[in-house]
Amino acid sequence: MQASISEIRLHKEGVHRKRRKRVRIPTVSAEQNRILAIIGQGYVGLPLAMAAVDAGWTVIGIDNFEAKVAQINSGKSPIEDISDTQLQRALASGAYRASADYTSVAKASVITICVPTPLDEKREPDLSLLQGAATAIAPFVSNETLVVSESTSYPGTLRDIIVPIVDSLKPRATTRVYFASAPERVNPGDPIWSQKNTPRLVGAIDRKSQERALAFYESICDTAVAVSTPEIAEAAKLLENTFRLVNIALVNEFAQLCAASGINVHEVIDAASSKPYGFMPFRPGVGVGGHCIPVDPLYLTWWARQNGGRAIFVESADSVNHAMPKYVAERALSMVNANIKNPKVLILGVAYKPGVGDVRETPVSELRDHLKLKGADIAWHDPLVQAWEDSSPVDLDWDCDVAILATKQPGMNLEQLINRGVQILDCTNSLKGQADISSL
Ligand SMILES: NC(=O)c1ccc[n+]([C@@H]2O[C@H](COP(=O)([O-])OP(=O)(O)OC[C@H]3O[C@@H](n4cnc5c(N)ncnc54)[C@H](O)[C@@H]3O)[C@@H](O)[C@H]2O)c1
């Protein structure tokens, strides 16, 4: 089953051709040192780097985006979860630096790959960045190095894509490389769950690899959970995020049914939450966004199709969530006097979730498109986003006919809007019991 996926991908990406290419560099045995190279210094890689520094590792954070490398080395963190102070402390200690130079991975005993795994234009897995990272590190992997993929992907990615690339391009002197998959579970903006206290799944290609991977993650995380294969770890990650996608879709659909009957869906969810077992509350919203929930389940649906199956339930959940921005646009416009031809709509919060400035896959883009189609004049406000799709934010005193609270950001003071009597469609359940506020 996995072999067929592998063959398709390897053939497509021309990896067979690359196998003949060998690079000679002097390598050392990486068995003893505590030097970690992390490929990708984003929402996953940078927090991992800081956690590893705290655990006593020396970390080289490699990123192919040179401007980001320069920013990090200047002590300015590109992500909300890592403060400038924490980053500056790590840099000053000499235990961390960012680099765009792959040759430095030759010093590492552990290399973790934390690069994006997005969708392509057909909304199918795009592993080009992952393959690019594996290809770039391979010539510099020292003997006895552990290579771990933390990127989210479909089952078989480590064994069928990463291992063949590294094995085919590694230096001649490197006779033994260990491989594992340990999908990252970080939840950006979460004040409770971090790299350290979130249990880490670890699945490796053989016993020695598993021992090394567990020892590595046990040095950084409170708990490492051993699973029997990398495919189990990869599939578990897809299941976790698909679980969220389908439950959000369920509650988004349910919210529409409740609204049509004049029932407050949040009161229903609160009521159902009083059941002490078998129920977990999810809240409706504008849709799903970010690099995980809208993307990872489509890795699952693609993987299902490659294996001759269909993940119909997941596809259906994806459709329900994608229909939400249109529903929200229509609800908001129904609050405006029908005589106004081009209503002015203020969107509050464009990031995909509170506490982050991340606008990747934000459902607010589709919301804005639907509002525009209906002739609305749109502006937006988000204290954590300075620019979005070539436009700038406005202040909260922007004169509007209706406001849509899409993402309730910290530092967003809505009192002045409420005091002005602006009608607000609250998609976040954070403005309860106020006049002029409609809840999703
Ligand atoms: N963001 C999350 O909440 C989250 C949570 C869990 C898992 N993940 C998964 O982790 C992976 C990384 O996601 P992220 O959110 O950290 O992405 P990100 O975009 O925040 O960071 C990735 C970094 O990798 C760099 N990069 C891309 N290709 C590279 C290459 N070939 N060599 C070196 N650097 C390269 C980019 O410049 C970028 O700085 C993805 O597979 C994602 O699905 C993300």
- Inter-residue contact 304 to 310 (CB < 8 Å): yes
258 catalytic residue (yes or no) = no
Nearest to 94 by CA among 53, 63, 125: 53
- Report pLDDT digits (tens) over 113-169: 999 999 999 999 999 999 999 999 999 999 999 999 999 999 999 999 999 999 999
Question: What whole-number distance in Å separates Cα of residue 63 and Cα of residue 100?
Answer: 5
Judge residue 194's burial from the number of C-beta atoms within 10 Å of its C-beta, 0-12 exposed, 13-18 middle, 19 or more buried: middle
Cβ–ligand 1 distance for 189 under 6 Å, the answer no
Percentage of residues in the chain having pLDDT higher than 90: 84
Cβ–ligand 1 distance for 152 under 6 Å, the answer yes
What is the residue type of 142?
Answer: S
- Report pLDDT digits (tens) over 205-232: 999 999 999 999 999 999 999 999 999 9
Nearest ligand 1 atom to alpha carbon 43? 16
Whole-number Cα distances in Å, 421 to 336, 348, 383, 424: 13, 16, 22, 9
pLDDT at residue 10 tops 50: no
- 221, 258, 292, 427: the active-site residue: 292
Mean per-residue pLDDT of the chain = 92
Contacts of 222 (CB under 8 A, 6+ apart): 196, 197, 199
Cβ–ligand 1 distance for 409 under 6 Å, the answer no
Question: What whole-number distance in Å separates Cα of residue 104 and Cα of residue 131?
Answer: 19
81 phi and psi angles, rounded to 5 deg: -70, -20
Contacts of 101 (CB under 8 A, 6+ apart): 62
pTM of the complete model: 0.88
Question: What whole-number distance in Å separates Cα of residue 84 and Cα of residue 68?
Answer: 14
Nearest ligand 1 atom to alpha carbon 185? 6
Residue whose CB lies within 8 A of the most ligand 1 atoms, among 81, 99, 115, 244, for a mutation test: 115
Residue whose CB lies within 8 A of the most ligand 1 atoms, among 44, 166, 239, for a mutation test: 44
pLDDT at residue 431 tops 50: yes
- Inter-residue contact 170 to 141 (CB < 8 Å): yes
3-class secondary structure, 225: strand
180 phi and psi angles, rounded to 5 deg: -150, 160
Which long-range CB contacts under 8 A does 335-342 form with residues at least 24 apart?
Answer: 335/402, 335/423, 335/425, 335/438, 336/401, 336/402, 336/423, 337/401, 340/401, 341/375, 342/375, 342/376, 342/377
Q: At 163, list the tokens.
A: 């291992």
pLDDT value of position 74: 98
Nearest to 289 by CA among 325, 263, 331, 314: 325
- Inter-residue contact 29 to 142 (CB < 8 Å): yes
User: Atom 36, ligand 1: which residue's CA is nearest?
Assistant: 40
Whole-number Cα distances in Å, 232 to 157, 180, 182: 11, 11, 10
Contacts of 146 (CB under 8 A, 6+ apart): 109, 110, 111, 177, 178, 179, 180, 209, 212, 213, 216
Question: What whole-number distance in Å separates Cα of residue 356 and Cα of residue 56?
Answer: 28
Contacts of 144 (CB under 8 A, 6+ apart): 29, 30, 31, 109, 176, 177, 178
Is residue 47 very low, low, confident or very high in pLDDT (cuts 50, 70, 90)? very high
- Report pLDDT digits (tens) over 379-396: 999 999 999 998 999 999
- Inter-residue contact 151 to 114 (CB < 8 Å): yes
Query: Can you say whether the dihedral through the CA atoms of 146, 152, 156, 161 is positive or negative?
Result: negative
Helix (H) and strand (E) counts in the chain: 15, 13
> What distance in angstroms lies between residue 41's CA and the mean position of ligand 1's atoms?
7
- Summarize the confidence of residues 182-195 as an average pLDDT: 90
pLDDT at residue 435 tops 80: no
Q: At 435, list the tokens.
A: 């006049």
- Inter-residue contact 417 to 425 (CB < 8 Å): no
Kindly report the number of other CB atoms within 10 A of residue 187's CB atom: 18
User: Atom 1, ligand 1: which residue's CA is nearest?
Assistant: 43
pLDDT value of position 32: 63
